[in-house]
């Protein structure tokens, strides 16, 4: 029998691990420069925790039966876990809380997509107990800094407003409103055009579907809609946020206002956004996030609500975008030297010598077999090891540098 990973799972070999570590390290450094502290939450959560409030459907969670009657689940994202930890374990801390993470997440693919990827790697931030335009601007500008730091080519940020989009969807009959929203979220124009809608509602649906472009132009189109007082206030907040972003970014911010933008996880209440890149006729979703001002209340013992906003970056998509650049390491890590005992009697001396070098932070391998000198040199060349240290019969080292 040939053993393989389960369908949807995969192994990461040393070079890919090195490249993705390079990405993660730069993201972590940027998070820290903005004052974010790393948090590590449990990979397993109670299923009720992950699906609280109906934001995440149980079918998306890879579930594990507990010994009792309750079910556990592998986290499909980090926001719910961090929200739980913040209101139950960190309630006494001074507001706001700036938290960051790097972790794997797991998602159950639809039944018709056997073999679709199950495990993903993310890095991201959550800014908790802080509302308002300034917190929104901080989050988006931090995301932009991350993408600039990595050297991602040809990226842009799509900015939407979940509350405003839901307000615009409210004109549709409740029985079909969800279907209209799904078509818009999945950019499925064909299905949207075939929904059973009146001529006026179909026109409204297609207007909403196409409500994306330069912020000034989209905001101008919005004035043609019949907005209530709350929606009007939201539009004014959007105008203020975009003005703040453009005036405070050190570089031109590639920003597209997309009021058709709806996120997969339905706990967002304010701005929502995605960072995307288009390369070689393929699109990549590099990051996604938004504001969730009701989520924390689901986990608070007294149900107290608090604002929150954050984003997650897809390490896989960032990696794919960077493969064609010169940014990533092109080789797996190498050792600095190879220590070779020339006889069995000096093996202890070789171990001691290697330890002494390691104490000086030198990366050392120890020759373990009875290979010929020619085979040892060839191995060192293959592993890109530049220095050989032969431990002679009298215990003294002889150094050799190879090309």
Half-sphere exposure (Cβ direction) of 230: Cα atoms closer than 13 Å: 10
Rounded to whole angstroms, the Cα distance separating 126 from 242 reads 21
Six token digits for residue 367: 């020759």
Sheet of 62-65: strands edge to edge? 44-46, 71-74, 62-65
Q: Which of 52-66, 130-144, 264-278 has the highest mean pLDDT?
A: 130-144
Q: Which CATH architecture has domain 337-401?
A: 3-Layer(aba) Sandwich (3.40)
| Cβ–Cβ under 8 Å, residues 156 and 147 | no
- Among 46, 89, 129, 57, smallest CA distance to 297 is for 129
Task: Tell me the backbone φ, ψ of residue 212, rounded to 5 degrees.
Answer: -150, 150
Half-sphere exposure (Cβ direction) of 268: Cα atoms closer than 13 Å: 27
How confident is the model over 329-342, as a mean pLDDT? Answer: 95
Six token digits for residue 326: 């010169």
Cβ–Cβ contacts within 10 Å for residue 148, how many? 14
Rounded to whole angstroms, the Cα distance separating 51 from 58 reads 6
Give me the pLDDT at residue 171, please: 85
DSSP lists the bridge partners of residue 340 as: 390
- Among 259, 219, 223, 262, smallest CA distance to 239 is for 219
How confident is the model over 278-290, as a mean pLDDT? Answer: 90
Rounded to whole angstroms, the Cα distance separating 390 from 395 reads 9
Six token digits for residue 274: 């995605």
DSSP lists the bridge partners of residue 252 as: none
Task: Tell me the backbone φ, ψ of residue 99, rounded to 5 degrees.
Answer: -125, 145
SS (H, E, C) 230-275: HHHHHHHHHHHHHHHHHHHCCCCCCEEEECCCCCCCCCCCCEEEEE
Q: pLDDT class for 115, splitting at 50, 70, 90?
A: low
Cβ–Cβ contacts within 10 Å for residue 111, how many? 7
How confident is the model over 48-76, as a mean pLDDT? Answer: 83
Three-state DSSP class for residue 387: strand
| Cβ–Cβ under 8 Å, residues 258 and 222 | no
How much of the chain, in percent, has pLDDT values that exceed 90? 60
> Model confidence over 340-365: pLDDT tens digits?
999 999 999 999 999 999 999 999 99
The contacts of residue 76 (CB under 8 Å, 6+ apart) are 50, 56, 60, 61, 62, 105, 106, 107, 108
- b/e 249-272 (16+ beta carbons within 10 angstroms → b): beeebebbbbbbbbbebbbbbbbb
Helix axis angle, 229-248 to 162-169, nearest 10°: 150
> Model confidence over 198-250: pLDDT tens digits?
888 888 888 888 888 999 999 888 888 888 888 899 999 999 999 999 999 88
The contacts of residue 342 (CB under 8 Å, 6+ apart) are 390, 391, 392, 393
DSSP lists the bridge partners of residue 105 as: 120
pLDDT at 288 over 70: yes
Rounded to whole angstroms, the Cα distance separating 313 from 289 reads 9
- b/e 392-401 (16+ beta carbons within 10 angstroms → b): eeeeeeeeee
Task: Tell me the backbone φ, ψ of residue 400, rounded to 5 degrees.
Answer: -140, 130
pLDDT at 264 over 60: no
**Hey, what CATH topology would domain 14-322 get?**
BirA Bifunctional Protein; domain 2 (3.30.930)
Domain boundaries defined on the chain:
14-322, 337-401
Three-state DSSP class for residue 400: strand
């Amino acid at each position: 029998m040939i053993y393989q990973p389960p369908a949807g799972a995969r192994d990461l070999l040393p070079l890919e691990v090195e490249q993705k570590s390079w990405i993660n390290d730069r993201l972590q450094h940027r998070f820290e420069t903005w004052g974010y502290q790393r948090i590590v939450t449990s990979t397993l959560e109670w299923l009720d925790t992950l699906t609280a409030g109906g934001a995440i459907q149980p079918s998306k969670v890879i579930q594990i039966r507990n010994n009792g009657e309750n079910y556990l689940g592998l986290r499909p994202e980090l926001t719910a876990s961090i929200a739980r930890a913040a209101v139950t374990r960190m309630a006494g801390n001074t507001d706001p809380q700036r938290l960051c993470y790097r972790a794997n997440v797991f998602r159950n693919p639809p039944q018709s997509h056997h073999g679709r990827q199950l495990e993903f790697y993310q890095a991201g931030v959550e800014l908790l107990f802080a509302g308002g335009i300034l917190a929104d601007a901080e989050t988006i500008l931090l995301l932009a800094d991350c993408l600039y730091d990595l050297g991602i080519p040809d990226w842009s940020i799509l900015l939407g407003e979940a509350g405003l989009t839901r307000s615009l969807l409210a004109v549709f009959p409740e029985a079909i409103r969800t279907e209209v929203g799904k078509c818009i979220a999945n950019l499925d124009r064909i299905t949207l055009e075939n929904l059973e809608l009146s001529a006026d509602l179909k026109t409204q649906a297609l207007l909403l579907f196409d409500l994306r472009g330069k912020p000034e132009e989209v905001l101008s189109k919005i004035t043609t809609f019949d907005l209530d007082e709350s929606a009007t206030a939201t539009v004014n907040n959007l105008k203020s946020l975009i003005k703040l972003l453009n005036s405070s970014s050190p570089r031109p911010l590639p920003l597209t206002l997309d009021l058709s933008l709806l996120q997969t996880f339905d706990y967002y209440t304010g701005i929502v956004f995605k960072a995307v890149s288009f390369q070689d006729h393929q699109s990549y979703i590099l990051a996604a996030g938004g504001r969730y001002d009701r989520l924390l209340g689901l986990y608070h013992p007294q149900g107290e609500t608090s604002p929150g906003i954050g984003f997650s970056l897809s390490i896989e998509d960032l990696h794919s975008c960077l493969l064609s650049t010169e940014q990533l390491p092109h080789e797996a890590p190498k050792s600095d030297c190879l220590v070779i005992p020339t006889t069995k009697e000096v093996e202890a001396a070789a171990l001691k010598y290697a330890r002494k070098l390691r104490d000086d932070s030198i990366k050392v391998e120890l020759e373990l077999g009875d290979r010929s000198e020619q085979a040892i040199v060839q191995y060192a060349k293959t592993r890109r090891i530049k220095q050989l240290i032969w431990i002679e019969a009298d215990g003294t080292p002889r150094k050799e540098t190879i090309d």
